[in-house]
Amino acid sequence: MTVTFNYRYSPPRTQIKDLLMSGIIGNIVSVDFHWMLDTRHGADYFRRWHRNKANSGGLLVHKATHHFDLVNWWLSDVPERVYAEGARNFYRPETAERYGFTRRSERCLDCPEAEKCPFHLDLRAYPRLAEIYLKNEQFDGYFRDRCVFSGDIDIEDTMHLTVRYRSGATMSYSLHAFMPWEGYTVTFNGTKGRIEHIAQETVYISGDGTVPGELKPEGTRIRIFPHFQSPYEVEIWKAEGGHGGADPVMLGVLFSPEPTPDKYLRASDQRGGAWSILTGIAGNRSMEWGRPVRIDELVHGLELPDYPPMPDPHEPIDPLPLKHSRAARRSE
């Protein structure tokens, strides 16, 4: 079975894996990962079926499973314990009241506040959305444009997690769904230095005809900070197409008769899928139970995914790399 973790195939995210595998910052001991969904794309989850946990598991499951898969794969590791806090701070009736929207409807199509509301979505203005959803409401009663401020919503828009991995590495993670820009920052702290990566994505509404989650080249950066040496920026591997340039590469792997071997082992099966979703499920339980949750409280005997080997945490480290490289140059 194949689980389509398209995010892994995005060239800059593969480049991060390549850098971490190279050992340039040693073995990874911690990760700071913060994902921003903006007021267009983020809001869209609160209009659709995703707005209820029974359908989507909330954003920690539906959306963040991609992020947690990236971390599992980047670190070649699996989560052991999760603590989460979360709340719905923005997409709720009180916010509509603060905006002064007193006559709002439960959907955009007939909403008297449409002209004033920055979240108004006119399905009729998007041919593809009208074709797929508006035209077919009679068959299943599904509305694609429900009010983002509805009291029926029961998923969080603000989430923070602390995760401990099997290797002992830890992660601090956050997800916000009402931010002014969309993308993420991720930092890896290793025994030989630090990598900082920021990626700004374009904004989109699912199905509006644009390419979803395309990376903005000018907003994507990778900086390396080795211990005791000057930091430097590396050139970003080129990304074109949906979800950070991942979709075209992944479709080639899925549907080509003979996929090429991949040293990053990006193709995922049910094991990678299960381990990625467990961080979010444990996060949901943690919010519910008000305490850290161990993965082995939820599931036992799950096989480990196939991940590439990572730098050895016991290998000797050169304490004076700069001095030694200068000396090497002098003796040439």
Partner 1 sequence: MAKKRYAQVGVGDRSFMYSFAIAEPFRDHAELVGLCDNNLGRLRTRADWLAGRDLEVPIYLDTEFDRMIAETKPDVVIVTSKDATHDQYICRALELGCDVITDR
Where does this chain bind partner 1 (CB under 8 A)?
A: 1-5, 49-50, 54-57, 61-62, 65-66, 69, 128-129, 131-133, 135-136, 138-140, 142, 206-207, 242, 247, 251, 254-257, 273, 276-277
Distance in Å, CB of 326 to partner 1, minimum = 48
Distance in Å, CB of 231 to partner 1, minimum = 35
Contact present, 129 and 208 (Cβ < 8 Å): yes
Distance in Å, CB of 267 to partner 1, minimum = 11
Distance in Å, CB of 276 to partner 1, minimum = 7
Dihedral in degrees, nearest 10, Cα atoms 157, 160, 166, 168: 160
Location of structure tokens 């052991």: 80
Distance in Å, CB of 217 to partner 1, minimum = 22
* Complex with partner 1: residue 12 or 242, whichever CB lies closer: 242
Distance in Å, CB of 113 to partner 1, minimum = 26
* Complex with partner 1: residue 96 or 175, whichever CB lies closer: 175
* Complex with partner 1: residue 77 or 247, whichever CB lies closer: 247
* Complex with partner 1: residue 135 or 323, whichever CB lies closer: 135
**Which amino acid is located at 238 in the chain?**
K
Contact present, 235 and 222 (Cβ < 8 Å): no
* Complex with partner 1: residue 12 or 207, whichever CB lies closer: 207
* Complex with partner 1: residue 73 or 188, whichever CB lies closer: 73
Tell me the C-alpha distance between 201 and 75, whole Å.
Answer: 23
Cβ-count burial 157-170 (b if 16+ within 10 Å, e if not): bbbbbbbbbebebe
Tell me the C-alpha distance between 92 and 236, whole Å.
Answer: 39
Tell me the C-alpha distance between 190 and 200, whole Å.
Answer: 24
Distance in Å, CB of 137 to partner 1, minimum = 8
Contact present, 120 and 181 (Cβ < 8 Å): no
Cβ-count burial 54-77 (b if 16+ within 10 Å, e if not): eebbbbbbbbbbbbbbbbbbbbbb
Q: Greatest CA span in the chain, whole angstroms? A: 80
Distance in Å, CB of 212 to partner 1, minimum = 9
Contact present, 22 and 309 (Cβ < 8 Å): no
Task: Give the total residue count for the chain.
Answer: 332
* Complex with partner 1: residue 2 or 229, whichever CB lies closer: 2
Phi and psi at residue 82, in whole multiples of 5°?
-135, 135
Location of structure tokens 């904004």: 203
Distance in Å, CB of 57 to partner 1, minimum = 6
Contact present, 105 and 96 (Cβ < 8 Å): no
* Complex with partner 1: residue 4 or 105, whichever CB lies closer: 4
**Which amino acid is located at 194 in the chain?**
R
* Complex with partner 1: residue 44 or 113, whichever CB lies closer: 44
